[in-house]
Structure 1
Amino acid sequence: LAEQEPQVLARAICVLEPKDYLNSCLTGRAASDRVSMARLADAAMKCTDGRSLFDIAGLEKRLMPPLLSPLDTVGEVQAGLGGALGRLAGRPVLAMANDTWTAVVGLGAMRAGAAYNISGTTEVLGLLAGKLAAAEGLLTVDWGNGLSQIGGPSQCGGDTLLWLLDLLGAEATRPEAAIERLMARKRDSQPLLFVPYLQGERVPYWDPALRGAFLGLNRRHGPQDLAAAALEGIAFLNRSVLEAAESAAGVRAEEIRLGGGGARSHAWCSVKASVLGRDVVVPDVEEAGLLGGAVSAWTALGAFADLSAAQSELVRVARRHAPDPLLKAGYDRLYVLFRQAEGAIAPVCRALAAAGPLGVAAP
């Protein structure tokens, strides 16, 4: 914005998330929360040379809004707002946080030692620790109340499965049903590996040039083998993120709280349980973020002593998927091959990503 429309930036009071802008319209106060703005707040801090990233980029510190705890009150709804909003005058408006934070509350995983997996268009996996911990390629964010989150978003997930289902000509209006049908079919005795980096990868590699691959294809492999390998490959990436987070934090999560559209697939839940080697727990909620917002609001209003008590009371479990011991042993062996494979093919993937179309002269 500073480069393309400096006149707009010159008039800006501060930078806000969409929720914060709506809160400012309701209350007349511009503020945000420390979780959503964590990276911007880091950019405003001075480095060892006495300058911040704001200074280096030539940005003014006034662009940083006041930062609150997610459960802090921004203000009260102003009087004189039109329509139904007029009836809310005087009601408190909370700062809250981003969608991942509220979803983790809605999954009942906002506590030290808990791990979560939000399985949507892409996967998000993280571990909650009672101390700040860092690992290469993972994001560490102070989530308040003595908790830090280590993990982050991948670039593969449900969208990867939709790509595969479309490629296989499978009905994808209800992808979980298509996956269940494919996973019910008998697989070939030879395992198949899938490296799921179709659009590059975020955690833990942050490399836009990585690409995907099926490895070990034989003439007998069918659609069910491709589907199973895709589910497993995404779960293997989750495992690499979880292992790095646990090693950095010095804690092992006893279970994984799972939400998002991917949680509807019982087959994928079972794969994840066996790949990760621990129970995958699916709470009884379709939209964990909405429940997390309600749980947080009740806590902020004093209905519960803290988020832990509120989660215990309001978050209920629908299903628990335990690891299959035999599958876990097999997945442990495949995981070693997966890690070897992704490293081995990375240089080729980067070269292909940089290559131009065939039949066109190189510049």
Structure 2
Amino acid sequence: MKEEIYLGIDAGSSGVKVCAFNHRGELLGKASRETKIISKSSRHHELDLNEYWEQTVAAINEMTQRFDNIVSIGLSVACPTIVLLDKNNNPICNAITYLDGRSEDFIHKTLGENKEHVMSLSSNSPSPSSCWVGTIGWLQSQQPELMKKVHKIVLFNGFLATRLGGKAGIDPTQAAYSGAVVLAGAPKWSKELLSYWNFDHSLLAPIYPSFAVVGRVSAQAAKQTGLKQDTAITLGSADTAAAAFAVGLIDGGTAFESTGTSGVITFCLEKPDFDSRFMNRYHVVPNQWLAHGAMSTTGGTFGWLNKSVWPEIDNHETLEQLARESEPGAKGLVYLPYLAGERSPIWDVKASGAWLGLRLSHTRSDMIRAAFEGTAFGLRQLVDIASKKWGIKLDELLSVGGGSRNHLWTQIKADILQVEYSIAQTSDAAAFGAAMIGATGAGYFCGVNDPDLPIIRTEDILFKPNKDKAINEVYDKHFGIYSALYPNLKETMHSLLS
């Protein structure tokens, strides 16, 4: 008898991964395809959905050619990625990604003096990436003819689910970033919060649990992908929520780090006690919440260095080798990683990146080393906030995602945060979580507490924090400088973008 295969589809902003797992959680196969963000300006970032679907189909086909017993599909997606569908569930325009900041001014102007009240209910800072109904309101004001074509508004997993044959829906982990649910209560659309936004609220797809089977693979999708018709499609969740489920983060006061294009430290909360500097959401686990300290371009920094600054360096391994030629403190150089604005903890789409302290004596190696350190200083800010807000003292931290494979970066983070880092055996935590959500929703596990439900295993290697007093003093000094830079440079950053 062939073993059952659970498919996890992880749709990110820069690519899609389709992973096949068995009942023990072992990765049996993976197919990936790169995609491109369409960036028309510093605040305009979209995805071509038809092209994205073609890449997704190609990756699924690669898996179905190897495995003919795929029994469930779970979805994990970059969040929020807004999709407008017509009556035939086809996109009427490009998707608007979480990096897009065009609606920022509109959101703040619309809310005005009501901003604090909205924050008290939604438990998130009203910005394009955590109040996406504001972006819908902005679209209504800017492109009313476009909005007349809209039949349903979904997020990225809702789009993929409909393409596979399911019905349109929005899961709680992404509804939490809408600015239209009262996060301390049950996941449902709030009439009061929606009243601030002038668009047809009936266009919003209904909220379904992450484990909900929203349909079965259609004949058309089966022909395109090689999947068996009627295979269960589970809605899934945002990528960091799926990764939290994958690592077994279901106890209050625990945390993990996910590192891809963005860098996120996630804390599990048993009570809805939120801090607005974090991105707060429902967990896929009922009656639990997640607080994400979400930085936008930690890993994205290194892709930018590879592609735009030093294109002759075509891989992250070379960046790491060059950074090793520098020293802790990067010879007096400090880096701000705000290449697409920033989310946690400053919430400013107009923030910009910088190296401070550049001298003729500095080398490329120093600049790269400073970038590794600057991203770690941002994470330290988040850990400090969690310590003061919830009394959480981290001794260890599990890191998942592609960036965790960079050993120098991981060691730098361990040193700057003064926590012991471990690494997941697979960098595909979000896809793993999506696959297990799909399998659970389809009935192959009996729930989140099923003892047979696997979680991600860790590598044997540990990254212990450096106890060298001189090095720690350098990091402490630079962390103080890093923390002071944004408040002092904020007006200058804004004037450069005006």
**TM-score bracket for the superposition, by shorter chain length:** 0.7 to 0.9
- C-alpha contact 2:261 2:298 (8 A) present in aligned 1: yes
1:284 Cα offset (Å): 0.8
What's the secondary structure of 2:237's corresponding residue?
A: coil
Q: Per the alignment, do residues 146 and 351 of structure 1 end up closer, same or farther by CA in structure 2, a change over 3 Å counting?
A: same
- What residue is the counterpart of 2:135 in the other structure? none
What's the counterpart of residue 16 of structure 1? 154
Distance 1:351 1:234 in 2: 24
The 3 A distance-change label for structure 1 pair 331 and 147 is farther
Contact 1:26 1:77 in 2 (8 A): yes
- Residue aligning to 2:197: 57
1:43 aligns with 2:186: no
Tell me the alpha carbon deviations over residues 242-286 of structure 1, each in whole angstroms, 9 at most, x when there is no partner.
Answer: 322343333233322222221121000000111111122210113
Q: Bigger CA drift: 73-82 or 197-206? A: 73-82
- State the alpha-carbon separation in 1 of the partners of residues 434 and 274 from structure 2: 28
Counterpart for residue 135 of structure 1:
275
Q: 1:29 aligns with which of 150, 154, 167?
A: 167
Matched, 1:242 2:242: no
Q: Aligned-pair distance for 1:113?
A: 2.4
Per-residue CA distance 1:301-328 (angstroms, 9 max, x = gap)? 24365268466x3411124212111244
The range that moved more, 237-246 or 324-333, is 324-333
Structure with the larger helix share: 1
CA contact (8 A) 1:126 1:245 kept: no
Give the 5 Å matches for 1:341-352: 341-352=485-496
Name which one, 1 or 2, has greater alpha-carbon Rg.
Answer: 1
2:370 is matched with 229
CA distance in 2, matches of 1:352, 1:171: 29
The equivalent residue for 2:223 is 83
Q: Do the aligned partners of residues 66 and 222 (structure 1) sit closer, same or farther apart at CA in structure 2, a change above 3 Å counting?
A: same
* 2:412 is the alignment partner of 1:271: yes
Work out the CA distance in 2 between the residues paired with 1:22 and 1:310.
Answer: 28
**Number of aligned residues:** 348
3-state SS of 2:236 partner: coil
Q: Residue 140 of structure 2 aligns with which residue?
A: 2
The CA RMSD measured in Å over matched residues stands at 3.2
**Pair 1:87–1:333, CA change in 2 (3 A):** closer
- Call closer, same or farther: CA 1:165–1:16 in 2, change over 3 Å: closer
- Name the residue aligned to 2:92: none
Report SS of the residue matched to 1:83: helix
Q: Contact 1:199/1:211 (CA < 8 Å) preserved in 2?
A: yes
Deviation at 1:296, TM superposition (A): 2.1
Q: Answer yes or no: is the 8 Å Cα contact 1:110–1:308 preserved in 2.
A: no
Instruction: Note the C-alpha offset of 1:115.
Output: 2.1
Deviation at 1:290, TM superposition (A): 1.5
SS in 2 for 1:248: helix
Q: 1:115 to 1:308 in 2, by over 3 A?
A: farther
User: How much has 1:80 moved relative to structure 2?
Assistant: 8.2
1:60 CA drift (Å): 3.1
Q: Offset at 1:52?
A: 2.8
Aligned amino acid, residue 15 of structure 1: I
Q: Deviations over 1:136-164 (max 9, x none)?
A: 33211121423211124323222323444
Residues 278, 86 of structure 1: alpha-carbon distance in 2 compared, 3 angstrom cutoff: closer
- Structure 2 unpaired stretches of 5+: 1-138, 183-189
Any idea what SS the aligned residue of 2:358 has? coil
CA distance in 1, matches of 2:160, 2:358: 52
In structure 2, the CA distance between the partners of 1:188 and 1:314, relative to structure 1 (3 Å rule), is closer
Unaligned runs of 5+ in 1: 355-363
Q: Which residue of 2 aligns with 1:101?
A: 241
Distance 2:243 2:195 in 1: 34
User: Which of 338, 346, 351 does residue 482 from structure 2 map onto?
Assistant: 338
Residue 180 of structure 2 aligns to a residue whose secondary structure is: helix
Amino acid at match of 1:59: F
* Residue 321 of structure 2 is aligned to residue 184 of structure 1: no
Letter in structure 2 aligned against 1:289: A
Q: Distance in 1 between matches of 2:417 and 2:365?
A: 21
Rounded Cα–Cα distance in structure 2 between residues aligned with 1:69 and 1:350: 40
Structure number with higher strand proportion: 2
Residue of structure 1 equivalent to 2:445: 303
Q: Percent identity?
A: 23
Residue 289 in structure 1 maps to residue 426 in structure 2: no
